[in-house]
Every structure is written in C-alpha cells, then in structure tokens.
Structure 1
Amino acid sequence: MAETQVQETTSLLRPSQPQYVFESSIARARKRRVKQFQCCVCTIFLVGVTAAVVITVAYSINDNDNPISNDNSTAIESDVVPLESFLVLLNSRNWPLNDEISNGLDNITTDIQDALIAGKKALSEKDRMETYNPSLSIDSPSYRHQKAFSFSEKARNLSRKGYAEEYATRYLYGIQNDLYELTKICFNDGTDESGPDYCSPTPSESCNVYQKYRSYDGSCNNLRHSALFGVANTPFRRGLPADYADGISQPRASRSGTPLPSARVVSIEVHRPYYREDLKFSVMLAVWGQFLDHDITATAPSRKNNGDTISCCGNQAYSSPECFPVLVEPSDPLAKYNISCMEFVRSAPSPTCCLGPREQMNQVTSFIDGSVVYGADESKAQSLRTFEGGFLKTYVTKDNRTLLPISHDMADGCNRDDERERGRYCFLAGDDRANENLHLVTMHLIWVRQHNRLATQLSTMNPHWNDEILFQEARRLVGAQMQHITYNEFLPILLGMSWLLRKFNRDSVACVPGDRIMKQFQLSPQQYGYFNKYSDHIDPNIANEFATAAFRFAHTIIPGLIKLLANDSTSPEYVQMHKMLFDPFALYDEGELDRILRGAMNTSIEASDSYFSNELKSHMFERDTKQTNESKKCGLDLVSLNIQRGRDHGLPGYVFWRKKCGLAVPHTFDNLREVMDRDPLENIKSVYRTVEDIDLYSGAVSEKPLEGSILGPTFTCLILDQFMRIKYGDRFWYENSCNWQSFTGEQLNEIRKTTLSGVICDNADDLSYIQPRVMERSGNKNEYTNCASIPKPNLKLWQDKLNRLRVPTTKLNVITFK
C-alpha cells in the first residue's frame, strides 16, 4: 500500500484516502453493487428534496407573511439592501398605507355611567397620591428632561379627561368575562347624551373655504374633518392597533406575557458606543431634522394637577400611577452611583370620547406650517408678536444684534442663577423646547430673523399693507420655504439620493437610482406649475410610530464632539455634545452665532446604524458640577428613554411593522441575517427571547441601510408614508392651486429658489461663504461659495399691482372722471 504525504502545498481537492495498488475481482464486483445501491438511494433522496423544495416555494408564494429564507448559506452578504427589490415592493402597496383600526360601537351598555364615575374617582385618587409625590430636583438631569417636553395648559386639561377615560375603560372591562372580546365603545362622535360632558354636542366649527391663511392650530385645513385632521391637541394616528400588556394601557410586554428586558439592558447590549463617521453629511442634517420634528410633533408628558414634575425613583409608597421608570441592573455602570432606576414618566393620555385603549396626544399641528416659529395656538402667536410692521418680538443686544425674546422663568430647566447675574437669560420661541440645545435655538433665531426680514421687504414693496397682512404674508412665506427645504434637501437624503450622492475624490457623480422613491411618489417639488394631488380623504395626522420611533433615527447620527468654527477655519474648537444642552448663553457673545453655524455645517455625522455616541447614552441633560462623586447628578441614557417610550405608547414589536410594510417577516433570529449585520444581530439575540419581542426602535435602527440611503427598509417605509400624508393631505400646501389661497406660478418659481444655505446666509451675523447644500459636507461639487452667489427668491413678485382708480366727480351736473 502506497500513501501520499499531504503537505501544506498539497491541493485541497486532492484525495486524502490511501490509494491502493490493486483490487481483486470480488472486491470490484462488490464495489460496483454498492455504487449502484448508493445511486438508487441518492436518486430517491434527490427526488424527495426536489418535491419538498417545490412545495415550500409554492407555499411561500401564497404566504402573506412572506417569511425570510432560513437557508443562511444563500444569504447575500452586503452592507446595504438593494434598492431595486425595495422599489418593486413599494409598487405592490397602496400608498399611503391603510391604518388598521377598530370601529366603535353605537350601542351604550347600562354599565357606562358607572364606568364614567369610576374614571372620575380614579383621577381624584391620582391627584391625592401625587400630592405626596416629591417633585424632581430643579438641578437634576431628569428635571431638565421632563422640561424638554412642551406642555400647555390646554394639553394638561385634556390629559386629565384622557386619564378618566382610561380608568372608565378599565372598570368596564374589569366586569366582563373576557377582556379581549370587547370592542372600543365610542360616544357617536360626541352626540350621545350618555357620554362624558366634554363629549356633549357642540356646534360644528364654521370654516371659511375662502380663508387665505392657515389657522394656528390646524383646524379647518381639511373641510371634511375640520377639527380632527392635522389639528393640534388631538391623538396621534396609529398604523397598527396598540399592543398593551393588558389590552388597555399597561406598557407592552413580551409575547409570552412576561416583562421585556430592561430598556437600559437593551441599550447597553445592543446599542453600544461605536464611532464611525459618515463623511458625506453634516450635523446640519440632524439640526434640520430636529427643528422639523418640533414643527410637527410634540408629545404631551404626564404631570401633576398643578403642572409640577413627577418623581418615580423615590419613595415607591407615593409613586404616581404614571410612573414607568427604567430599571438599572446591579451590573450596570450606573450602579456604582447607587442608582437602581432611571426616571421616566409616561406620556399623557389623550381623550378620544371613546372607551378603549390608551392614546397619546400631539400638541402641535401635523402640517409643516412654521408652528415651531409661531406656536400652535393664537394666544401663543400673539404673545410673540410686536403688532407693528408684521414683526416678531426680538431682544436687541448692546452691539445691536437681534436675538430671540428672553424668558425670565427660573424654573424652566434652562435659566441659571450665574447667568442671570450677568443679565443673560434663556429664550422664548414658538416651541417651548427651543432651548434644548445650542444648535436648535440657533435655528429658531435664524427663522425669526427670516420672518422679520421678509416682513421688512414686503412692507417696502407694499407700504399700504397693515401689520396683520404683513405678518400673515411673511408667515405664509416662512411655511412655504420650510416645506420646500424639507422636500428638496432633507427628504432626498432620507429616502435615497441620486445627484446629491457623490463619490469623494472623483469628478464624476455617482449615479444611484435612489431619487426614484421621491419621483415615484411625487414627493419632489414641482419643476414648474402646481401640485394637484391634494385629497381631503388622506389623514395627515402624525403617526404614533413615526413620532415615537421612526423620526428618532437622527439620534444615531449625532456625534459626541461638535465643532465650533471661527471665520479663519484654522482653529476649530470641539465641545462635548451634552455641554450644548440647555446652554444657549453663547449667543449673547459676538461672533458665536456664526461659529455655531459653521461648526454644524462642517462636523460630519456619525454613521446611521445601531450604535450611539456615549454622550447620548451616559450624559444626556447632565450639567457639569463641582460636587463629589457620591452626590453626582448622572446623565440620562437617551437610547433607553426612546425604547421605554415605545413600550409606554404600546407600539407593536419590530416584526409587525415589517409585515405592515410588506417586508419579509422573520420568524426566528436567524431569519434576520439578510436584514442585519452579524454583530447587531448577535447583540439582539443575546437580549430578546423571541423576534416578536424586539422593540421597533432597536430593530429598525439595526437594519442595513437601503442602497443610496441612510435608513433601513422599515424606517424608510414609515417615513415615506408619513411625508406623503403631510404633503397630499395639506390643503394649504405651498404648491397647491386654489384661486383664493395659492401663490402665483411666478411666485412659486421664486420660492423654489429657497435653500437652507440661502436662509442662513441672509440671517447670520457675518457669514460670507457657505457650501450650497449645508446638510452635506463641503467638498467635491459642494465647494464653499460666496453668499452673494447663492440663488434667493425675489420678492418683487409680491408687490401689489394696483391700477389707478378713476374717481367720479360732479361738476355742473356732468359726471366726469379724473
């Protein structure tokens, strides 16, 4: 017997078994029979496998869930999700997506009145318990976090009604045999006398169909649903029914009924700090995203009856029923500070005039209308006006620069005694969250200056216009420009890009078909003429899943260090992100506004993925202190709070949103290998028990991005659906054609010259050069340009064309005309 020595250089395909010199005839015959038997067995096996494959494929084609393949060997490893297959999927759906809702019942049972009484008693008991509940320390990160929420007096009163409704529902369901057999009971849209007093019949709102200007609260935009569609202080819309642990209001639990893993554990294990820059885009992308978000969403928080904050990590005997703190494990890094939970208060319930699952309230309009600048109600808007020349109020500094009007409220979570002693205060704006970070308050200032600049130009051309006309015309222009910037500069980055996406260090443009989503759904601004697809059947209300998860994608792209850049651009200063929170005082210093703007336009974002900066995970709302470690006020974990908020709102798990969007539905963790990279998936597997338990936020940010985009398929679907609704469902959309409210075709052509770079140039202090597309980093095809060269609208087209009127006069009984 001869044997071949296998060495490192031996071919891997070379047989390793011994090679015999001879075989006997008996052995050869026996081997031939064995081979024949093996061939027979193999043939039978292959026929069986083929039949099984055919049956499986046929079943998969007819399976509405469209499960992802279990064969990991055939999965294509790629950093992105191919766009072409996603476009095919989009074409197979009806857009906007249909909301899955339960209908109310017309019949009112005899238990209703008892339930309503029980709801009022529960509200009184809540008030009693919260009188013993301590408020948060004014110097704590949790206090600043709660103050970061906008909360109006109207929202507070409505939330109390919503709370009573919730506990009336709980009472009614509690006396039934089967909770899940009951359907939501509504009071016939406020016309049933058996319902609560605030649902009593009221005169229908009278809408002037010829009204030229928007209402502040969004009412009368939709003439069919004048007090509901897009209106402030109404419930968020839901794409899927709420998934509460008890079917009514308790935060989402595991599919098995057991508690989900702590949101803090998910944050630590799944969303670890990792630094990977995306050199294509600038922090201005995130700045505009937040400014826009505050224009269309403002979730109402739960508060005490007197408006005070609620403490949830203190004495549990006096804990508010609205508490839902984030549990901190003993192994958590925060445990060394003797922290066992992170403060978290539930979002306030919204009244619906129904007995059914809990809903949350949006305090602002769902339209891109500049409510972030002017406020979402008339009283707020009037408090910000001078009532002279159409101007908004400003504060004039000693060096004759205009800032936002100042706030003297020392309990607003922003004002500080040390700054007050210097005569410096935080600011007032159309949205109460303006002071949350330095970039955000800067954007607020830019747009208040833009309004006043437009009012000045309009007054010069039309000196006969009074204050009201000047104010409303400037407001109308600001809303139009915000809409154009959003759909012309911001959305193409989110939904996929073509000419905007460039290969650096090359002269040619990368031809990526991503803009096909924008064109396919007519989201891109018109090149000329009007947009004629408005429909009063489309509900533009902001979806709960959009406000609570999808539009929080930007948190993953915020870098830990933010650049401040002087005019010479040779000596940048870097500031930790958390030090820019509730610290707007730099704007009082000359030159700081421009440094902040330059820094935002020249700081790269972090890559959009499942990883987050440690600034967001450990230092949110933290304020530097000289106190010892024992009494240190640790910062909050924004990722934990995002996950907890989704559970608070009863958002169904991640896989159900994939099914909603028509995407392949995973049934096991291994099914996700085609959707997520290996490391994020392994981290998810280590935390969740089943794929159905994965939180929407964690699952969607962990997806591979679509080709040419920064988002994965699930968030792309939800964001696409919402922005279609905002455009198609807005009667006052700037490109709509209505004789009594529309811009002329020539005026529209001027508005289409609007860019965020042009608005910044016009309203910064002393900014001379800028990249034309400020949400992208400067570089190839986006080089610095003199501000004077940036195209801007010409407002001469807003000048009234007044013809000389012929006035009749009487002379010698003969009527003549001058």
Structure 2
Amino acid sequence: MHVGHSKCNMEEEDPLNSIPDTSTYYLRCSQPGPPKKVTDSCSIVKRSSKRPHYYSLYTIALFWTTLICLIAAAGGLERNGEYQRYDGWFNNLANPEWGSVGSRLHRDVPSNYQDGVYRLASNLPSARAISDLVFRGQVVAYEIMQSTQISCPLEVHKIPVPRCDPVFDLQCEGKTEIPFIRAKYDKTTGHGLNSPREQVNDRTSWIDASFLYSTQEPWVAALRSFENGTLLEGPMPGYPPFNNPHIPLINPPPPQIHRLMNPERLFILGDPRINENPGLLSFGLILYRWHNINAKKLQKEYPSWTDEDLFQGARRIVISTLQNIILYEFLPALLAINPSQIPSYEGYKPHVPPGISHSFATTAFRFPHSLVPPGLLLRKRNSKCEFREEDIVQEYSVDEIVLGMASQIAEAEDNVVVEDLRVSLSRYYLCFSLFINFLDFIFGPMHFTRLDVVSISIMRGRDNGILPTTNSAKASICLQKLGKPSILRNTSMFNQLAELYGSIDRLDAYVGGMLETNGSGPGELFTRIIFDQFLRLRDSDRFWFENKQNGFLTDEEQKKIRNINLREIIKQTTSIENDELQKDVFFWLKGDPCPQPFQVNTTNLEPCVPFMRFDHFTGNEVTYIFTVIALATIPLICIGIGYLLIQKRKKMGMIFEPGVRSLKKPCASQKVNLKDEMDYTRQIIAKDMKFSLPAIEWLNEAFCRSVIVELDTHLAVLKILKRPHVVRLTVTRKASRSVNGPFVVVSVPKNYDMVLRLQNESQWLQFRCALGNCLIKHGKLIKEVEAENDVLLEAAETKDKRQEKLDHFFREHTPGLNQPKLSDANSEFNSYVSEQVMHMTLTKSEFADALGMQPKDLFVQRMFSCMSLNGGQNIDSVCFQEFLTVLKRLHKVL
C-alpha cells in the first residue's frame, strides 16, 4: 500500500473506515476552529498499487452516466406497495424536497462571490489563458459533460481569448470572446449577503436510474409499452423506438453540415443527452435491455402481477444493480482504491443531506476529462480479435462498441486534457463519425461552433461561488495546503501560474485539483470530495437496496444484487461470450483478451471542420428581402386598422352624430349652431315625428353599451334600442369625475332608472328640449335635478340594483309565507327600501326570469291575469304588492 500526497500520520490498514462520520458527510475538520496541524484531524484515502492497470473505456462510460443523471431511482415491489417517485420527491419524509428535481446544490464549502451575493470574480485571470498554459495536450478527445441548466433570463459572461489564439483568433484581432452562460439558480437566493446565489439541479440527486426512466411522468409514459411491465421496443429488436413523439431530446447541429437535423433519427430513453455519443448510448441500451429481461423474469415468477407491478419490480432491480455497480465497482475504480475500503453500510440516515455538492459538480467530478481518448475502437466478435478499419465502417452493433470499449485503454491520469476538449467540443463528434457512421453531434451553438471545456469548467466553478483558491478549498475540508513540490514538477509552468494569478495561493480549485493528479487516480482534494458525495448519496437514500427497513428486498435478494456486476449484465444483454470480456471491465490488465492494436491519437484522425460562426444573411437573401418588406408594411397595417376602428366607432355613434332621422349632420369644418339645432328639435316635436340620437347606456361600474335613444313624440314613448353585439368594458372608476360627456338619468316611478351618457352638452340640451316638450304636450310633468356625475351614478336605481332588490324579496317573502326559518335574517335592506320595493312594478320578463320560464308561457300569463286588479289580459306589469297578495291567496287555498 502507498499513501497519497498528504503528510498526515495514518495507520496502514482500513484507512477509509477510520474517517470520522461527521467529516465524511460535511467535509469539515473534526475539531472546531482551524487546527494547528493538519494531522490533528485529517483523514486520507489510500490507494492500491499492487499491480499496474489501465482504465478501460467503461470507467469513462459509467462516469458519463453518473454525471448525467446522478443516477437514478424508482419504485418498489408489490409486497411493499410504495413506488419511488420519478422526480425524487418524498425520499426523505422529513425533508421531502431533498434530492428532488430542481432542488438546490449542497453548499459543502463557503460561497465566494465577488460581492458576497452573486457576481463573478473579475480579478482572476482569463479561463482560456489558464487552459492554454496548464491543460495543453497533443491528442484529440471530447468532453461529454454539458451543463444544460441555464438561467432565465440568460446571463452571458464573456471569456477573453488571448490575442492570436490558434483556434479562436486566427486573425490576431484580440477581440474574440468565448460565450459562457451562467447556470440556473434558485430565484429566492442571491439577494443579500446572508443568501448568496444557489444553483439548482435539474436531475434527481439519488441513484435512481432517471438516466433510463426520466424524471417526468409523461416522459416515462412515452417509454413504456404498458404490456408485461416492459419498455417500448422500436422497429429494431432490442432497441428503443426512434423519437417520433418528438420528445425534447438534445439535437445540436452537426458541424460538418452546420444545420439542424431531423430529431426522429434519435433513440428515446430517459435523458435528453442519451444520443450524444455511441459509448453513452450503448450503456443506456444495456440498461434498457436489462429492464426488459427482468420484467419477463418477474412475469414468469409472479403471473398475477399487473403491468404496473411488473414495471416497478423490474425498475427496482435495475436501480439496485446500478447502485451496487456505481458504489462498489465504479467508485473504487475511479479513485484507484480497493473495494474493501468503502465503509460498510450502516443503515438509512435521514439526517444526511443528499444534495449534489457545488465542489463535486463543478470541480471534482470533472477529473475524468483527462481520461477521455480521441476516438472509439470497434472490436469484431471473433477469435482473431480484429478491430474495424475506420474508413470502411458503414454500420455498427452494440456488441462491437462494447467489446471495443472493453479493450481500449483510456488516456493517462494527469493534468493534460486533449486538444479537442480544450478547443472544440464539436471536433470530437465530427471525427467520431469517421469511426461510426451513426449520428453527428456538437456542443457549441451555431453562432459559436467550438467551446473550450476547460475554460467552461473553470468558469462554472466561479459561477457557483466555489472558493477560488485550491488552498482555501483544501483547508475547508482539512487537507494540507497545495505547494510547488506537491503539484508541479515543471518549474516554468509554476512560475507562469504564479505570474498569471499573482500568487499560487489564488489558484482555482478545478485547476489545482487537476494538477494534483499524478497517474494514480485523482489527487487528495478531488478524492475527498468524490468519496464524500457518493457516501452521502448511499446513506441518505431511503430506497437504497441495502436498506432493510424499506422492505423492498429480502436478505437473499440483496445478496443476489451484490453478486451482479457490470460484466454479468453485459453478458445477459448482448451476444458477447464469457471468454470475450475481461473479469473487471473497468480495467484492462496484461493477459486480458484482445489488447488494443494501438493507442488512438490524432495521427489516426482526419482533420475536422474548423471553428465557425453562423452568418445569418448568407443563403437567406430572399428571406431577408421579404422580411424587410413585411416589416415596412406593419405601419401601413396599423394605420389601416386604426382607420377601420374609427369607422366602426362612427357607426356606433361614439364619435359624430350619424345622419339620423332627426339631427342635421354637421360638416367637420363647420361649427354647430346650437340655436338652429334646438329649432329643428322643436319642429320634430310639433310634427309628431320620432326624435333619436346615439348614446351610451351605463349599466354598472364595469359595463356599458352603445344604444339609440328614440322618443316617439306622438305616443310619448321613450325607447332604448340596443345595438347587437356591441358591449364593451369601461375603465371608469367609481366616484370618478374624469368621465367624458354628461350623464342623464331618466327616472320613472316604480321602474328602474335609465342611465345614459351623451356625447356633449349640445346633445343634452336637445334631448331635454325634446323630452320636456313631448311630456308637456301630453299633460305630463318633468322634474329636473342637476348633480355631479359620480353622485348621479351612485344614486341611480339601475336595472342591476333593482334586480338585486327583487331577488332579495323573492328569497325573503316567498319562503316566509310558509317557512319563516328560510328567511334571510341578515337582511341589509331597511323598512324604507322594503316599502319602495312593495310598490315597484314587476314586468312579465322579470317575473319569468325569476321562475326560470319564458314570458309567453301559460303559467306566466295566468299569474299576471290573477295579479291584475281589473282582470285584464294585456297587462305587461304589476305591482310587487299585488304579486304577494296572489301568493297569500294561493297559500290559503293549498
């Protein structure tokens, strides 16, 4: 055994089990305050060095899966009756939102924003300059880790590119900047020093197979066949369907064609990024087949189970095996430790926070960047261990990808990140298509086709407020400070870093952590962060497969899960024979079957499409011209609409008096002579003609409508003619004096008041003259009262107010005749109002509406005949008192 880079005094046996429980979960020193010596409270994870080994690509494939979903969880078996939610809620019953979709990241180290709240540090060097200095390599690769969590509205920060950058600034202009979009965050944070910005996780924190099943019920429904608990199969046997439902999968434009492609060419599984590369897709297909295999086994074992029971049972098995593989196979392989060094499971601990920590998401779990090779080898299934030639591949199989990944060796564990990860996330996808003619992918947007993943990783740490200095991060979790001897053997690079940052103590946590890597797994900082994160995920998960309290698995079933490894699942889900795979698929050791013929490097790859920006004009000249024409016609369209509205308002009588039968139509340039108009009105009355004018009827504080007021001077009848389909909402406030035009309230005893708004004083004088002369002609009197508009409207007995009183008396007096208890004891109407209503007239229409009938119904006609004092048949209205009298008589008879 050999010890890591810390100088802490440690024993040689079981170092992981010696980590105190509190320091494991919270990454803090076990003693309060800063220790005098790191050895006082520091624990170190040791690594095994018994034999030389090489990471196979399965280490990277499972890293991809773990990174994308972190990883999935799901429901239980029938005996328990509880199914784990897809969105991660209610795993922890005391804190149901812990680990759910959209929950905050766990703040394991103090935040360090420039203003203490949300601003990025502006006194740190350019992330691109650091990438050029520290992470420059000689081979081509790509980076799978893509952050799709962007804030809304977008917050774009620009990364300065050094002058004459060989990729982004070929013209040596010194003006190029790489766009960086800040991550999605909890909008309730970032408003003060006590509440710094907290980013959120769009996936569940639990290891719950959301990578396969998704986190949304509708998405899951699109994946299911709803037959025998299986997942839906597409036209190709053993493969999921293509994206015909148009599920929102990530579908970036391939760089070689620089345009979007049909999304129906993509397979659908639970994560939108599943089609990003064949290695990731092949692992998803293995889990997809593993689910269906277990669903069919459960159907044979439990024939009475429903489709839902079978689906959730198979899902539980997939989750359990995935949990076992990740924690007890993948984690030791990634950290280069023995599986026995993982602490034994002690049971469910609901007090442990499961959230993905900021330092894990933005720094430590980006360590496998240095392991990614520039391409993927495909291995044929034969005894000769033949590998496909890249230039003759026209089709592929999952078996060939799986065998190739088992044999191919990853890149060395160091601070070197292959050039395509640094200069183009798109290059790998284009070059990868030379190996596999399947799908083309790209990370950079169309307007900026290349991105530097190292620069993005550095900026992501700053965006999340991670302590900008590696030494600060190490001190917060009780590790020895970073120094020149412990990270760099390149004196020139050390000096350049010190010059770039101003001091080596200001080194970004991601940069310092990557520089600690020495070829035997990640360094101290990343090891501690990764180790802590996965232990917290295990111990805080109520649905963990080893938790005996949840009742999902028996002891025997748990033992079976512990005996299932990734190699066994590959054998059951593919046609690969037992002797074609090594015993540990995460490593390739000397003597394992089919060594790779060569280490893939840039000499085996053709040049890729260079960095491009999208020109929105080229190729769209015709569209651009028509767009300009369309924009130019918008003002004309607006003018036309305005003209039509004016004409419509004229027809409604809301602007000018129309050429009606009574009034002269004044010219627009002619001043109206009030004397002439009044004389004309008197002539109409003298000749027994009909006088009419447009007005607005005010119904209540919210509504009014356009009407025609018509006065028949011969019959002394005032009619209000409603304009069909002309009802509008008014914004007139109650008791407002800003109402346009005079209001007129026509009040007739025993009837409701008619409230009219006229256009101007001239109309009011004409209306008063016509109405007054007409009433005098027929021997009637008119009483005129003048008041302010708001007072007038408040006092008006409108139809709505009258209906309210009628409804009250129908409800109050009618039941009171026989059952007084049904009367409204909390009446808000006094005796004076009651007396008024008793003498109020009731029309046939109002009476019919109260009974839910039509005015022409026989019952309504007979009732009005009974209520008429003279017994007439043509009566149109009666007094409310007469109505009550008839009801009393009927009550006595019955």
If the length of structure 1 is used for normalisation, what is the TM-score? 0.57
CA displacement at 1:674 relative to structure 2: 2.9
Q: Which residue of 2 aligns with 1:225?
A: 95
* 1:467–1:411 distance in 2 versus 1, CA, 3 Å: closer
Deviation for aligned residue 1:83: 9.1
2:110 alignment partner in structure 1: 241
Alignment of 1:333-732 (within 5 A): 333=166, 334-336=168-170, 340-352=176-188, 355=191, 356-397=195-236, 400-406=237-243, 408=246, 412-414=250-252, 425-498=265-338, 517-518=341-342, 521-522=343-344, 531-568=345-382, 570-573=385-388, 591-622=396-427, 624=430, 635-653=450-468, 654-666=470-482, 671-678=483-490, 681-705=494-518, 709-732=520-543
Q: Does structure 2 conserve the Cα–Cα contact (< 8 Å) formed by 1:217 and 1:232?
A: yes
Q: 1:657 to 1:437 in 2, by over 3 A?
A: same
Distance 1:209 1:477 in 2: 14
Q: CA deviation at 1:517?
A: 3.8
Pair 1:209–1:690, CA change in 2 (3 A): farther
2:231 and 2:292 in contact (8 A); partners too: yes
**1:67-93 Cα distance to aligned partner (Å, 9 max, x none):** xxxxxxxxxxx9963798467997475
Equivalent residue letter for 2:588? R
- Aligned AA (1:685): A
Offset at residue 728 of structure 1 (A) = 0.9
Task: Read off the aligned partner of 2:460 and give its amino acid letter.
Answer: R
Q: Compared with structure 1, are the counterparts of its residues 542 and 422 closer, same or farther at alpha carbon in structure 2 (3 Å cutoff)?
A: closer
Aligned residue pairs, count: 517
2:23 corresponds in structure 1 to 95
Q: Amino acid of the residue matched to residue 220 of structure 1? A: F
3-state SS of paired residue (1:362): coil
Q: C-alpha displacement at 1:343, in angstroms?
A: 2.2
SS of residue paired to 1:246: coil
CA, structure 1 residues 214+224, in 2 after alignment: closer, same or farther (shift >3 Å)?
same
Q: Residue 98 and residue 751 in structure 1: after superposition, are their counterparts in 2 closer, same or farther (change >3 A)?
A: closer
* Distance in 2 separating the partners of 1:547 and 1:468: 34
Deviates more, 1:616-625 or 1:749-758: 616-625
Aligned residue in 1 for 2:82 = 212
Contact 1:539 1:725 in 2 (8 A): yes
Describe the superposition over 1:461-516 as per-residue Cα deviations: whole angstroms up to 9, x where unpaired. 21111110000001100010001111221111233334xxxxxxxxxxxxxxxx56
Q: CA deviation at 1:779?
A: 3.2
* Pair 1:557–1:602, CA change in 2 (3 A): same
Secondary structure, aligned partner of 1:361: coil
In 2, Cα distance between the equivalents of 1:543 and 1:724? 12
Consecutive unaligned residues of structure 2, counting only runs of 5 or more, are: 29-66, 70-77, 434-445, 596-894
Name the Cα RMSD after superposition. 3.8
Task: Within 5 Å, give how 1:794-805 maps onto structure 2.
Answer: none
Distance verdict in 2 for CA 1:418–1:682, change over 3 Å: closer
Quickly say closer, same or farther: Cα 1:762–1:590, change in 2 above 3 A.
Answer: farther
* CA distance, structure 1, for counterparts of residue 448 and residue 190 of structure 2: 42
Residues 358 and 687 (structure 1), Cα distance of their counterparts in 2 relative to 1, 3 Å cut: same
Of 761, 776, 784, 2:571 maps to 761
Change (3 A) 1:476 1:415: farther
| Identity, % of aligned positions | 28
Structure 1 residues 87 and 377: alpha-carbon distance in aligned structure 2, compared to 1, 3 A threshold: farther
Q: Would the aligned equivalents of 1:233 and 1:361 in 2 still touch at CA under 8 Å? A: yes
Q: Is the Cα contact below 8 Å between 2:190 and 2:197 reproduced in 1?
A: no
Q: 1:252 to 1:719 in 2, by over 3 A?
A: same
Change (3 A) 1:405 1:462: farther
Does the CA-based 8 Å contact 1:390-1:470 persist in structure 2?
A: yes
State whether residues 442 and 593 of structure 1, in contact with CA within 8 Å, keep that contact through their aligned partners in structure 2: yes
Paired residue for 2:551?
741
1:431 aligns to what SS in structure 2?
coil
Measured in 2, the distance between the counterparts of 1:471 and 1:683 equals 57
Question: Are 1:326 and 1:343, in contact at CA under 8 Å, matched by a contact in 2?
Answer: yes
Preserved CA contact (<8 Å) 2:163 2:169: yes
Aligned mates of 1:560, 1:488 — CA distance in 2: 28
1:329 counterpart residue number: 162
Aligned counterparts of 1:633 and 1:84: Cα–Cα separation in 2: 47
Which protein is bigger by CA-based radius of gyration? 2
Q: Which deviations, in whole Å up to 9, do the C-alpha atoms of 1:753-780 show, x marking residues without a partner?
A: 2111111122225566211211111534
For residues 226 and 420 of structure 1, the distance between their equivalents in structure 2, rounded to whole angstroms, comes to 40
Letter in 2 for 1:406: N
Q: Deviations over 1:683-727 (max 9, x none)?
A: 533432123321111100101449xx4110000110111111011
- Tell me the TM-score normalized by structure 2: 0.53
Higher relative contact order (CA 8 A, sep 6+): 1
Instruction: Check the 8 A contact 1:556/1:613 in 2, yes or no.
Output: yes
State the match for 1:56 in structure 2.
Answer: none
Q: Deviations over 1:379-398 (max 9, x none)?
A: 3222221211111123122x
Once residues 750 and 636 of structure 1 are traced to their aligned partners in structure 2, the CA distance between those partners, rounded to angstroms, is 45
Q: 1:675 to 1:376 in 2, by over 3 A?
A: same
Structure 1 residues 451 and 477 mapped into 2: Cα distance closer, same or farther (>3 Å)?
same
Shift of 1:211: 5.2
Give the letter aligned to residue 717 of structure 1. Answer: R
Contact 1:235 1:351 in 2 (8 A): no
Hey, what's the Cα distance between the residues in 1 that align with 2:189 and 2:259? 46
Distance in 2, Cα, partners of 1:722 & 1:412: 28
CA deviations over 1:43-102 (Å, ceiling 9, x no partner): xxxxxxxxxxxxxxxxxxxxxxxxxxxxxxxxxxx99637984679974753334378xx
